[in-house]
Amino acid sequence: MKTKLPRILTAASLALAFTSSVAFAADAKPEAKAPSKSELKKYDANNDGKLDDAELAAMKADKDAKREADKKARLEKYDTNKDGKIDRTEAEAEKADKEKAKAEKEKAKAEKQAAKEAQKAEKPH
């Protein structure tokens, strides 16, 4: 009869390794995304090529204000029952508008491409 001890020890070791890595990953803070060139240009007041705490705070404040303005505009446009929330029918209306806008954008892109190809065809080689 073979002993089960090696299997039990292996399983315990794997479980310990897994829980340790999960705990470590949970403790680790996600690295902040580096600012884009346009963000640096807009917020890097001292022109040192990086954003310090005050500059990051200004960027965050602007992003938060934009997010709130977008939320307010979305509610004004789609919250037909004025309850401060987007319900299912209102969300469906928003989705339909987005799909319509996407279709119009794709149509305009196709028309532009067709016009460009028509111009190429008209030019003598």
> Tens digit of pLDDT for each residue in 26-59?
555 566 688 899 999 999 999 999 999 999 999 9
Answer yes or no: are the C-beta atoms of 87 and 81 closer than 8 Å: yes
Q: For residue range 57-94, what is the model confidence (pLDDT) as tens digits?
A: 999 999 999 999 999 999 999 999 999 999 999 999 99
The answer, yes or no, to whether residue 1 has pLDDT greater than 50, is no
Instruction: Name residues whose C-beta falls within 8 Å of residue 91's C-beta, 6 or more positions apart in sequence.
Output: 78
Residue 47 in tokens: 């022109």
